[in-house]
Amino acid sequence: MKRIAIVGGTKGIGRAVARLLAVRGDRVALLGRDAADLAASAADLAARAPGDPPATAVLDLARPETYDAALDEAIRRLGGLDAVVITAGAFGTQEALEADAAARERVLSTNFTDTIQFCEAARARLLAGGGGTLCVLGSVAGDRARKPVVLYGATKAGLAYYLQGIDLRHRDAGLRVVLVKPGFVRTGMTAGLPEPPFAANPEDVAPAIVRALDRGTPQIYVPAIWRLVMLVIRWLPGAVMRRVKF
Amino acid sequence: MLSGWGRWPVVPGHELLSEDLAAVTAGATLTRGLGRSYGDASLPAAAGARVAGSRLANRVIGFDPDTGILRAEAGLALHDVNRTFLPRGWFVPVTPGTSFVTLGGAVASDVHGKNHHSAGTFGRHVRRLRLRVGTGAIVEASPEVEPDLFDATVGGMGLTGHVLDLDVTLRRVPSPWITGETEYVPDLDTLIEKLLEAGRTWPYTLGWMDALGAGGRGRGVIYRGRWADAAEAGGRALTWPREISFPMAAPYWAMSPFGLRWFNELVLLRYGRGVKRALMHPQTFFYPLDTLLDWNKAYGKRGFTQYQCVLPHRSGLPVYRKVFQTIAARGGAPYVVVIKDFGEEGPGRLSFPCPGITFSIDMPVDGGRTQGVVDAVNDIVAAEGGRVYLSKDAFTRAEHYRAMDPRVDAFNAIRRRWDPDGRIRSALSVRLLGDAA
């Protein structure tokens, strides 16, 4: 039985991960902006996993002043904290973000500044409790700059750099960092986008994420085929990347 | 691009997926679930029309273990319901041959299963619906509150409104295992006789027929099942099989009559002669094809259709045979044929099942030939007073449909009351129910 706080656990991949954890008997706290949405997801988990209902706490990534209260509440309700999972994020296609400064600001700050600010707070709490796992969703888009996802990819690349760094710096103190790089997953975030090959559903990728969380695997691709795909894409020469559309 | 399970027809467009179904259905012309209806029931009436996707709205709202009533969002799949509640002794009251159907889709199609003769359709077990109707209002409907709207929504192909959440009574089961029997039958006469006989004592029954081999005389297998009691199950724990994906569309020659003939021979060989009894996994008994995800790709890029009709009992064997002779004469290839007897008709205003024998027949789409096959069989079905299952249909013409189902006008009148501007419609409602594109 682990005590796990999830940011973004009411939707998409986070929802699927929260269900797996709750059903196998972990104690889960859902952190998010909308109290009604948190309560509805807590009821869903409670119906699926008889036992103590999951905890909820209001957290807004864009407002660092909400971090302490939310983490305190999670630790109090769970009786400690073994892992923090962050699946929240924002997406926009390159065209949309180039056309809309407000959307650009939202994607850049949510995925980079806000997520890292919260990671810092969560990391400090985990280390204060003797260590633990910080599991964060990056993206295959952070592996190589590509035309359709320049800004989004840049936020995820920056986030990956940060996570690699805290792994180096705090591993000996007991911090385990898990960076998950999903390929195309059919969620509200990707709705309406043309589907590339190897598209997956949230429930398809959740088991691998939970496995990585348990083992403290520093980096995984989900579905696993994306490791190979990105290996190839990372090795393509710049001249080729300038020509291709993806 | 959007298509149903048959991968034909394919139309431009995409579904708007969201966990917030109430938000995403505002202004939408149609909601689709997992897209398991075969033809055009889940496709937009016109290119660019707003289609909401419900499958991310899959939260359980509550479950009462005293009554078995499950309240859930409409995008929750039967697959998920069973995996969550079967270990605790509950199963969906009625299930079609796939569990990849949402609760909302099960209501819209008023699905039936192997227990239709004993339990009716899915709609019989639904206690309450909350839906967004065409005016944009959110309305509650049940057999007591707005009963017309409720009955029109059950089996109404999603055309009365967007189902947001619902209450359905799950079935208490003594163990998660099935005591099943299979029996070889030499011809169609015996198959139907044994099917009706089995229905008198078994809650779940089904017939499978080899329409290709041995001159299409109708050799087949009868399946009978009931939930195993605790002693029969012997405390065996249930684990679910791992699902595997069908990688890509098969080449057109893969599903040839030649290949299928051998497949059918293998199936018959496996069941042998006589009666075999076994403790069966519910996945094997109810959803034999669900373990192979995306099996529709086996039919290749041209897609396939499943033609399903019901013929009244009075039609009898000569008419049933004429259906298969007609298909064969027109060059249709009836690859998989499933036969089931229906019990009483439910209150669903456009619901498919009515007393008689239903045949569901998988056929690859083959240019104009498929249209000719469906037209010819529909002539027979209309003349006999039978009807076709809209959730499977892609080829029936409006004239045939109207001749088969005089309930259409009354159904449309209820729709208009909740949707005076005719906002909610689908490619199917344009093709068959007289809606504007």
Interval B383-431: pLDDT, tens: 999 999 999 999 999 999 999 999 999 999 999 999 999 999 999 999 9
Ramachandran assignment for B95, one of left (phi > 0), alpha (psi -120 to 50 degrees), beta (any other): beta
Give the residue from chain A lying closest to B247, CA to CA. A198
Contact (Cβ atoms closer than 8 angstroms) between residue B128 and residue B351:
no
Test B60 with A48 for CB contact under 8 angstroms.
yes
Contact (Cβ atoms closer than 8 angstroms) between residue A87 and residue A8:
yes
Q: How far lies B358's CA from each of A103, B39, B98, B285, B343, in Å?
A: 54, 18, 17, 19, 11
Contact (Cβ atoms closer than 8 angstroms) between residue A84 and residue A4:
yes
Test A47 with B19 for CB contact under 8 angstroms.
no
Q: How far lies B172's CA from each of A118, B87, B90, B201, in Å?
A: 46, 11, 5, 19
User: Structural domain tally of chain B?
Assistant: 2
- Interval B344-394: pLDDT, tens: 999 999 999 999 999 999 988 988 899 999 999 999 999 999 999 999 999
Does residue A130 register a pLDDT over 80? yes
Q: Which of A15, A40, A191 sits opposite B17 (nearest CB)?
A: A191
What is the per-residue pLDDT for A52?
83
Q: Does B263 touch chain A (CB under 8 A)?
A: no
* Chain B residues touching A43 at Cβ < 8 A: 59-62
What is the per-residue pLDDT for B214?
45
What is the per-residue pLDDT for B347?
96
Beta pairing, strands A219-222 & A175-182? parallel
The answer on B248 and B195 residing in a single domain is yes
Q: Does A11 touch chain B (CB under 8 A)?
A: yes
Catalytic annotation present for A221? no
The answer on B186 and B146 residing in a single domain is no
Q: Which of B18, B59, B88 sits opposite A40 (nearest CB)?
A: B59
Q: How far lies A219's CA from each of A134, A142, A144, A203, A216, in Å?
A: 12, 13, 16, 19, 9
Q: The complex's ipTM? A: 0.95
Pseudo-torsion of CA B138, B139, B140, B142, nearest 10°?
Answer: -140
pTM equals 0.96
User: Quick one: CA dihedral A181, A185, A189, A193, positive or negative?
Assistant: positive
Test A40 with B84 for CB contact under 8 angstroms.
no
Closest CA to A114 of A179, A62, A157: A62
The answer on B217 and B96 residing in a single domain is no
Q: Does A43 touch chain B (CB under 8 A)?
A: yes
Test B63 with A47 for CB contact under 8 angstroms.
yes
Which tops the pLDDT comparison, B334 or B418? B418
What is the per-residue pLDDT for B14?
86
The answer on B334 and B217 residing in a single domain is yes
What is the per-residue pLDDT for B336?
81
Q: Does B18 touch chain A (CB under 8 A)?
A: yes
The answer on B367 and B248 residing in a single domain is yes
Which tops the pLDDT comparison, A193 or A102? A102
The answer on B187 and B146 residing in a single domain is no
Q: What is the DSSP letter of A110?
A: I
Give the residue from chain B lying closest to A193, CA to CA. B14
The answer on B214 and B162 residing in a single domain is no
What is the per-residue pLDDT for B257?
67
Q: Which domain holds residue A21?
A: 3-243
Q: Which domain holds residue B278?
A: 178-401
What is the per-residue pLDDT for B249?
74
Q: Distance from B217 to chain A by nearest Cα, in Å?
A: 43
Mean pLDDT over all residues of chain A?
96
Q: Distance from A243 to chain B by nearest Cα, in Å?
A: 26
Residue A158 sits in a domain of what CATH number?
3.40.50.720
Residue B137 sits in a domain of what CATH number?
3.30.465.10
Pseudo-torsion of CA A210, A89, A200, A146, nearest 10°?
Answer: -120
Q: Which of residues 181-220 of A touch B (CB under 8 A)?
A: 186-188, 191-192, 202
Does residue B216 register a pLDDT over 70? no
Q: Does B158 touch chain A (CB under 8 A)?
A: no
Say if B436 falls within a structural domain.
no
Q: How many CB atoms lie within 10 A of CB B180?
A: 21
Test A47 with B62 for CB contact under 8 angstroms.
yes
- Cα B425 to chain centroid distance, Å, stands at 20
Mean pLDDT of B167-195: 96
Q: Does B275 touch chain A (CB under 8 A)?
A: no
User: Where a domain ends, among B173, B197, B218?
Assistant: B173
What is the per-residue pLDDT for B410?
98
Mean pLDDT of A182-201: 92
Catalytic residue selected from A152, A161, A162, A221: A152
Q: How far lies B420's CA from each of A197, B159, B413, in Å?
A: 42, 13, 10
Single-letter amino acid, residue A38: L
SS3 label, residue B286: helix
Residues 6 or more apart in contact with residue B203 via CB below 8 angstroms: B115, B118, B119, B225, B226, B227
Place of tokens 């892609």: B394
Give the residue from chain A lying closest to B86, CA to CA. A48
Q: Which of A23, A44, A188 sits opposite B59 (nearest CB)?
A: A44
Q: Distance from B66 to chain A by nearest Cα, in Å?
A: 14
Q: Distance from B193 to chain A by nearest Cα, in Å?
A: 43
Say if B407 falls within a structural domain.
no
User: Quick one: CA dihedral B58, B61, B62, B67, positive or negative?
Assistant: negative
Contact (Cβ atoms closer than 8 angstroms) between residue B81 and residue B71:
no
Test B56 with A44 for CB contact under 8 angstroms.
no
The answer on B192 and B148 residing in a single domain is no
Buried b (16+ CB within 10 A) or exposed e, B47-71: eebbbbbbbbbbbbbebeeeebbbb
Q: Which of B56, B84, B88 sits opposite A187 (nearest CB)?
A: B56
Ramachandran assignment for A238, one of left (phi > 0), alpha (psi -120 to 50 degrees), beta (any other): alpha
The answer on B305 and B277 residing in a single domain is yes
Binned at pLDDT 50, 70 and 90, residue B213 comes out as low
Single-letter amino acid, residue B264: N
- Cα A176 to chain centroid distance, Å, stands at 15
How many contacts does A have with B, using Cβ atoms within 8 A? 41
The answer on B240 and B182 residing in a single domain is yes
Test B15 with A191 for CB contact under 8 angstroms.
yes
- Mutate which: B31, B60, B100, vs A, most A CBs within 10 A: B60
Mean pLDDT of B311-328: 93
The answer on B251 and B106 residing in a single domain is no
User: Structural domain tally of chain A?
Assistant: 1
Residue B329 sits in a domain of what CATH number?
3.30.70.2520
Binned at pLDDT 50, 70 and 90, residue B267 comes out as confident
* Chain A residues touching B63 at Cβ < 8 A: 47
User: Quick one: CA dihedral A217, A222, A224, A228, positive or negative?
Assistant: negative
